[in-house]
Structure 1
Amino acid sequence: MSEKGKMLAGRLYDPSDEELLKLRLSARLLTEALNTTSVEYHQKRVEIVKHLFGSTGNTIHIESSFNCDYGSNIHVGDNFYANFGCVILDAAQVTFGENCLLAPQVGIYTATHPLDPTERNSGLELAKPITMGDNCWIGGHAVINPGVTLGNNVVVASGAVVTKSFGDNVVIGGNPAKVLKEIIAKP
Structure 2
Amino acid sequence: MKYKNVEFSVKQFTALIIYKLFLVWLASSTTPIIGKICRKLRYSCCRHIFLYCGKNVNIERGANFGSGFRLRIGDNSGIGVNCTVPGNIVIGKNVMMGPECYILSTNHSFDRIDVPMIEQGNTFQLDTIIEDDVWIGRQVIFTPGRIVKKGSIIAAGCVLSKNFSEYSIIGGNPSRIIKTRI
Q: Kindly provide the amino acid, as one letter, of the partner of residue 99 in structure 2.
A: P
1:97 paired to 2:92: yes
Structure 1 segments, 4+ long, off by >6 Å, are 23-26
2:31 is aligned to none
2:19 is aligned to 30
Q: Which secondary structure state, in structure 1, belongs to the residue aligned with residue 72 of structure 2?
A: strand
d(CA) in 2 for partners of 1:158, 1:85: 15
**Deviation at 1:57?**
0.7
Equivalent pair of 2:109/2:121 in contact (CA under 8 Å): no
Q: Under a length normalisation based on structure 2, what TM-score does the superposition of the two structures give?
A: 0.78
2:30 is aligned to none
Equivalent pair of 2:153/2:168 in contact (CA under 8 Å): yes
Equivalent pair of 1:50/1:56 in contact (CA under 8 Å): yes
1:4 is aligned to 4
Percent of pairs identical after alignment?
Answer: 24
1:115 is aligned to 110
Q: Kindly provide the amino acid, as one letter, of the partner of residue 121 in structure 1.
A: E
1:15 is aligned to none
1:139 is aligned to 137
Q: Which secondary structure state, in structure 1, belongs to the residue aligned with residue 75 of structure 2?
A: coil
d(CA) in 2 for partners of 1:111, 1:73: 16
**Deviation at 1:119?**
7.1
Q: Which secondary structure state, in structure 1, belongs to the residue aligned with residue 129 of structure 2?
A: strand
RMSD: 2.8
Q: Under a length normalisation based on structure 1, what TM-score does the superposition of the two structures give?
A: 0.76
Q: Which secondary structure state, in structure 1, belongs to the residue aligned with residue 67 of structure 2?
A: coil
1:43 is aligned to 40
Pick the aligned partner of 1:70 from 63, 67, 70. Answer: 67
Q: Kindly provide the amino acid, as one letter, of the partner of residue 166 in structure 1.
A: F
Where do 1:125-164 residues align within 5 Å? 126-164=124-162
The runs of 5 or more residues in structure 1 that have no matched partner are 9-18
How many corresponding residue pairs?
Answer: 166
**Deviation at 1:26?**
8.0
Deviations 1:23-82 (A, max 9, x none): 999856533332134543443221111122221111111220111222112211110122
